[in-house]
Structure 1
Amino acid sequence: MQLDLTTMPIPQATRRIALPASVGFLFLTLFNVVDTWFAGQISTGALAALSRSFPVYFIVLAAGNGLSTGATACIGASLGAGDRTRAAGYAVQALLLGAMAGVLLGLTGLALSPALFRLLGADEANLVLCLEYMDTIFLGAPAFLLVFMANAVLQAMGDTRRHRNFLILSFFLNCILDPWFIHGGLGLPAMGVRGVALATVACNLWGVWLLGRGVQQSGILQERRLRDFRIQPELLADMLRQGLPSAFTYLTIGLGIFVITFYLSRYGDAAVAAYGVATRIEQLALLPAVGLNVSTLALTAQNHGAGKADRILATLRHALILGAVVMAAGGCLVYLLADPLMAAFTADAAVVEIGAAYLRLAAFILYAYVVVYVHVAALQGIRKPMFGVWVGVLRQLIAPILLFHLGVFILEQNILWIWWSIFAITWAAALCSAIFGKRILFRVVNPVVA
């Protein structure tokens, strides 16, 4: 069922979209937490392998998130303008693009991942574990991308509940598959770290069927036949113009994690493992921000198509106010529970100490992420995705490389230099978004105000 996001009261629409999305991403994060916990039971080396794999794995996530953002913007704008035929055409192109991009990404990843892990400081023993995990993930890349694109179609219609249900059920399925595939049994051999990845791929294969069925039931493809599933260059090119910059924006996050992991590896495997665990915990606190990001994108896309500038600006204001309230509560919990949260994942005292120090500082960064996310989402919704690219390049690459290199190799500071650099860079990006991002938004949707 499509929500009319051009007339529904903004607070109500935000709740209808953001709450299911936040709950879904809660279970996605818990899914990753389960993987991290089971990897920690194998060995610290396995935990470090998953931490090193995350920036490489993020390439898959960046492609999926970016291309799906472009699809949501195009489909949402068409729905807002009342052109369901064009919206259906975009939906078909989104599914075809997901399949093609997944195959290309998988083949590229299999070829390049050994060199990437060596760059991240993996020795030969840890390299084997990293490749066992990521080679399996790259083989399942088409399923990952199809899940993202099917969800993009549903999200453009205001439906975030089906994806939420998929993520909830996948979490419970993963709790069963992880120990089974890791340790073996019932006719399966013990697969260790490879089993963690195989469980993830299995859940996404099931997601292709579940969300694909949701797209079919939504009615957007009601009059489409098999012969209609072919490349339409005009629509595909338009979607790529929106999706590729968004994909690169998400890719900068993965590259940023790559940069952080590269410099953290100078402090040893305990530092790398601590950051991997701490970021899982941080992601839990940021779940409301993810929901606000999704709702801001969907609302701005439909209202931009309908030409309702006042609702776009009201959406941004509401997201920023709501985000401030929720992040204040989340920050308090992260600060107060930093040590026990880290200890829940590992008995290694060094890992707990390093990760808790990061979390206590991260508690004061959470709202900065909200400011960046919702401004970038609003601009993506009005088809101005390049702002996110420039903010991402500065926040994730240029500034971290300069500051980290200064502190680690020139001034020879301890690991706290890395944590404080992240704090300073993220708040600088938030300030940049609040000033320049909002100025671009006003100029596009309300030229008189600009």
Structure 2
Amino acid sequence: MTFDLTTAPIPVLIRRLAIPAGTGFFFNTMFNVVDTWYGAKLSTTALAAMSLCFPVFFIVLSIGAGVSTGATALIGNALGRGDHEEARQYILQALSFALVNAILLVIAGHAAGPHIFQFMGAEGEYLALAVSYMGVIFSGAPFFMFNFVMSAILNSHGNTATYRNFLITGFFLNMALDPWFMYGGLGLPPLGLPGVALATVVIQCLGNFYLFRYLANSGIIGSFRLHELLPRRHHYLELGRQGFPSALNMMTVSLGIFIITWFVGRYGKDAVAAYGIGTRIEQVALLPVMGLNVSTLALTAQNFGAGHMRRIRETLGISLRYGFTLASFGTCIALLFTPQLMSFFSSDPAVISAGVRFLKIEAFVLPAYVLLYICVSAMQGIQRPVFALWIGLYRQILAPAAVFYLLTSVFNWGIIGVWWGIFAVTWSAALIVVLYVTIILNKLEKDIFVV
């Protein structure tokens, strides 16, 4: 089901878009939680290897999300202007653009993956598990890319329910495939940790068939000729201009995780495993905000194309209010049930202890993430993607490298210095974002008034 994003009441649209998207993100995150839980059943080394893989895996997600964000903004802007033929061209070009990026990612991932893990300090069984896990993921990159783009096409049309349905189904499939592929059975040999990755790739492949069939049957794509998928300079340049800053911004998240993991890794595998579990719990707490990200991007994209600045400001204000309310619940739960949450994933006392200290601090960072995510989504919707990159460079690389070193090495706070460093860096970035967004929206409204 799709909605008119330029005329219907904003609060109604936010709920209709954000709730299905947030539900989908919940099941997608629980998908990852299931992977983490089964990885922990193998061994602490396997769990640490999965945590080590996360920043590398995030590169795949970053490129996919970047292409998706660019496609959503461009398709949404075209639909807002009423130019349906332009929207159709961007839909087709986004699909081929995703394939090109996926092929490059497969080649680069297999070539550079082992060297990255060695640089991060992995060796022996630890290294072998990480390489085997990510090798499967890199091979399945095309399936990830196509799903990202098809979800963007749906989002730009105001449909977040269809992708939600895939994510819910994928979660339940993963619960069945993970133990089967890990331990073997029914003619399948035990694959161990790579089996967890293979289950993910198989589910992504099934998602390709489901989403493309829906797009074809709904008429969103319609009939087309194969030559229309061939790269077109203008469309590729625009998709790159809108998508690559977003992808690079998310890659800064990956690099930021590299930096955090490097600092945390100085305190042992138990600390790395605790950080990996803590980030999974944090993702669950932020799920409602992720749904608001999707609704904010889709609404700002179409309303910017239609020239409705007041609706963009209203979207931002209501989304932030919803986000702060939901984040407060996440903060309370993280503070009240920290030991229980950590114990669900690990029985290792050292891992639980490190994770509890992390979550007790990280719980107060959740409202800052609300400001960051929703405001950045709004800027991407009004075709200001480069700002996300600059704030990402500050929040993920420049500030953490300096602050973590200061707190851990100069002040000798140890691992707790990394946790407080995340708090300080994230809140400072959130304040910068609020100031920038305020200036940009005031300028756009003034320009429209003058015209």
User: TM range, normalised to the smaller chain?
Assistant: over 0.9
**CA distance in structure 1 between the partners assigned to 2:393 and 2:14 by the alignment:** 29
In the alignment of these two chains, the number of paired residues is 450
Q: Which residue of 2 aligns with 1:164?
A: 164
Alignment of 1:47-196 (within 5 A): 47-196=47-196
Deviation at residue 446 of structure 1 after TM alignment = 4.2
Equivalent AA in structure 2 for residue 314 of structure 1? E
Equivalent AA in structure 1 for residue 272 of structure 2? V
Please, which moves more after superposition, 83-92 or 1-10?
A: 1-10
8 Å contact from structure 1 (residues 76, 302) kept in 2: yes
Deviation at residue 215 of structure 1 after TM alignment = 1.8
Q: Which residue of 1 aligns with 2:392?
A: 392
Q: Which residue of 2 aligns with 1:23?
A: 23
8 Å contact from structure 1 (residues 84, 220) kept in 2: no
Counterparts in 2 of 1:446 and 1:264: CA distance versus 1, 3 Å? same
Instruction: Give the TM-score, by structure 2 length.
Output: 0.98
**CA distance in structure 2 between the partners assigned to 1:221 and 1:301 by the alignment:** 19
For residues 96-149 of structure 1, what are the alpha-carbon distances to aligned partners after superposition, in whole Å with 9 as ceiling and x for unaligned? 111111111111011111111112121222000000100110000011111101
For residues 206-242 of structure 1, what are the alpha-carbon distances to aligned partners after superposition, in whole Å with 9 as ceiling and x for unaligned? 1111111122133222242334222221112111110
Deviation at residue 412 of structure 1 after TM alignment = 3.3
Q: Partner of 1:122: helix, strand, or coil?
A: coil
Deviation at residue 183 of structure 1 after TM alignment = 0.5
Q: Which residue of 2 aligns with 1:354?
A: 354
For residues 180-212 of structure 1, what are the alpha-carbon distances to aligned partners after superposition, in whole Å with 9 as ceiling and x for unaligned? 000011111111011010000001001111111
8 Å contact from structure 1 (residues 79, 302) kept in 2: yes
Counterparts in 2 of 1:82 and 1:105: CA distance versus 1, 3 Å? same
Alignment of 1:251-262 (within 5 A): 251-262=251-262
8 Å contact from structure 2 (residues 21, 160) kept in 1: yes
Deviation at residue 390 of structure 1 after TM alignment = 0.7
8 Å contact from structure 1 (residues 375, 438) kept in 2: no
**Residue 223 of structure 2 corresponds to residue 220 of structure 1:** no
Deviation at residue 410 of structure 1 after TM alignment = 3.7
Q: Which residue of 1 aligns with 2:319?
A: 319
Counterparts in 2 of 1:448 and 1:103: CA distance versus 1, 3 Å? closer
Q: Which residue of 2 aligns with 1:40?
A: 40
**CA distance in structure 1 between the partners assigned to 2:151 and 2:352 by the alignment:** 36
Any stretches of 5+ residues in structure 1 without a counterpart? none
Q: Which residue of 2 aligns with 1:383?
A: 383
Any stretches of 5+ residues in structure 2 without a counterpart? none
Instruction: Give the TM-score, by structure 1 length.
Output: 0.98
**CA distance in structure 1 between the partners assigned to 2:437 and 2:161 by the alignment:** 30
Q: Percent identity?
A: 48
**Residue 348 of structure 2 corresponds to residue 343 of structure 1:** no
Alignment of 1:206-355 (within 5 A): 206-355=206-355
Q: Partner of 2:447: helix, strand, or coil?
A: coil
Q: Partner of 1:363: helix, strand, or coil?
A: helix
Equivalent AA in structure 2 for residue 162 of structure 1? T
Counterparts in 2 of 1:88 and 1:161: CA distance versus 1, 3 Å? same
Equivalent AA in structure 2 for residue 272 of structure 1? V
Q: Partner of 1:35: helix, strand, or coil?
A: helix
**CA distance in structure 2 between the partners assigned to 1:64 and 1:441 by the alignment:** 28
8 Å contact from structure 1 (residues 21, 164) kept in 2: yes
